[in-house]
Structure 1
């Protein structure tokens, strides 16, 4: 008969769980100790640490500013697209009753959210009010302006609006449908160019952050070379040796992100009043983009990860060169 498999005793399983729990607590204590120790080391050299964080902040400000500006342009483009309208000019001459009939026919088409009829007399009155040429235009024998219908499309996308314009132009009584969305298309092309430029700058300045943090951590590794050789000689793993430097890189990145956030907030507050005054002088309303809580969290997370990655690259490279004597 084959022997029955032995089951671990409850006391042995409990002992194993206790050892695992002790290892986990020891690991957490070491992480906490290394994070505090790396922060204290940065505070011992405040000028050097602040200069490193300031260099990181400057590298983060420009791509973040472009990102916020493009985000504002995206919202503006959405508003402009939603407010896009078509103008259907009616055949001339046409009386008001026929113009109302054509207006009802246009409003009944699929894809039309609303219409507004402008008779020839109303169009002339608006034209006179906008130009201030009441006396000169009053001398005209006939009204040269045709009646028109302003059409609001249900779908504001460019393809849908273009299809709607072709449909409306085929209706009897409509002479021409004017659709001037080329400037919105140019705005979108500029926004796409800006996004690519912002991405290229983000990669470029992100690489600069990696170099700044990597060089700072490299100097820290060299200054503690003998300490690293000793702990490696008594059996410390690379993960154990690497841990305090990784926390230092994370602190550098987080500090640079906080300074960049402060610079962006101060700059936006400093420029918001003159920009708003300039926009009001042109009869427009515009405000500078602001850092929202979510965008602030993204900025701080990206800066911390960049500092962590730069420290990882620098420490891993130099640990491979350090051999205990």
Structure 2
């Protein structure tokens, strides 16, 4: 019995090794917490200069974030405009009502057609008069020059698919012309693609700016504590040990800059909300400026914190290489 119980217990060396590993992990965690709190206390001790540094980071983050929000609203507008993309089939002038009805049924039966609306010549003239406000002027015409038409909402709003549908409809008997105007949608998509590339380029450039701001601030902090670092390295401290508080300082700078950037975006959105709503209302539309949701805010804060940490790591690593204790 004692032999079997002894065989089930782990060796004493393994238990000692597990205990040492657990104590190391706990000590590592305690040191990280201590360095995080110590770096935060150092920032709070000199609030004005550190807040200005965070404000510089926030300004660098606001510009690409605001452009990205603008592109997000443009993508929503592009989706609405894409849904409104239509084809207009104009019938020949010599087509009578019965023939127009048959053509309408044939067009509706096309597999790529989702929805159609038949507009007679009289309805077309009435809409034309109402849109231009020329009811009295056009009322004196001897004959209606407008043909009957069919407005089509296609299943696929891709330009190639719509062009193929327009060619098929144009070959039908009694169809005079098929008008397809996708140039403005294509221009909007090209502008959106250009905007995305511009936002990415600005994000990279201003991200480098954040690295430089944090790196320069941390470099000054390293120089001010140079004697302390030399003493700590003399008693055996590793570069990772010395680097840790500065990394947390960089992360705090980035996190504070991210929160200030969110505040600036919110204030800017509230400041511009009224004139934007008035401009949209003047065009008979309802539009509001987009804002960062929880996911977007989390991404912004994560990126700012990571940039602050990376800028501090680059600065500290570069200057620790030049510090020779002794």
- The TM-score with structure 2 as length reference comes to 0.95
Distance in structure 2 (CA, Å) of the matches to 1:117 and 1:50:
65
Alpha-carbon offset, residue 8 of structure 1: 9.4
Separation of aligned partners in 2, 1:85 and 1:267: 37
User: Which residue of structure 2 lines up, in the alignment, with residue 66 of structure 1?
Assistant: 67
Give the Å deviation of 1:211.
Answer: 0.6
Structure 1 position 297 matched with structure 2 position 264: no
1:231 aligns with 2:263: no
Residue in structure 2 matched with residue 3 of structure 1 by the alignment: none
The secondary structure found in structure 2 opposite 1:200 is helix
SS in 2 for 1:114: strand
Match of 2:173 in 1: 172
What root-mean-square deviation, in Å, do the aligned CA atoms of Structure 1 and Structure 2 show?
1.4
- TM-score normalised according to structure 1 size: 0.96
Residue ranges of structure 1 left out of the alignment (5+ in a row): 1-5
Deviation at 1:125, TM superposition (A): 1.2
CA deviation after TM superposition for structure 1 residue 10, in Å: 2.8
Describe how 1:16-27 pairs up with structure 2 within 5 A: 16-27=17-28
Alignment size in residue pairs: 320
Q: The residue matched to 1:175 in structure 2 has which SS?
A: strand
Matches of 2:131 and 2:216, distance apart in 1? 64
Match of 2:215 in 1: 214
1:177 is paired with a residue of what secondary structure? strand
Taking a change above 3 Å as real, the CA distance of residues 86 and 9 of structure 1, as seen in their structure-2 partners, is: closer
Provide the secondary structure at the position in 1 that maps to 2:88: strand
Q: Which residue of 2 aligns with 1:149?
A: 150
Separation in 2, partners of 1:17, 1:239: 24
| Paired position in structure 1 for 2:93 | 92
SS state at 2:237 partner: coil
Aligned partner of residue 152 in structure 1, secondary structure: strand
Deviation at 1:96, TM superposition (A): 1.8
CA shift, 1:103, in A, is 0.6
**1:241 matched residue in structure 2:** 242
Alpha-carbon spacing, 1:111–1:67, altered in 2? closer, same or farther (3 Å) = same
After TM superposition, give the deviation of residue 202 of structure 1 in Å.
Answer: 1.1
Q: Secondary structure at the match of 1:149?
A: strand
Q: Which secondary structure does the structure 1 equivalent of 2:150 belong to?
A: strand
- Aligned partner of 1:183 in structure 2 is 184
Aligned residue for 1:105? 106
Match of 1:285 in 2: 286
Query: Which whole-Å deviations, capped at 9, do the CAs of 1:263-289 have from their partners, x for residues lacking one?
Result: 001110121111101110111222112
- Greater mean deviation of Cα atoms: 128-137 or 292-301: 128-137
Residue in structure 1 matched with residue 259 of structure 2 by the alignment:
258
Deviation at 1:296, TM superposition (A): 0.7
Which residue does the alignment assign to 1:32? 33
- Give the structure 2 partner of residue 311 of structure 1: 312
Please report how far the alpha carbon of residue 7 of structure 1 lies from its aligned counterpart in structure 2 after TM superposition.
11
Stretch of structure 1 that moved more, 310-319 or 174-183: 174-183
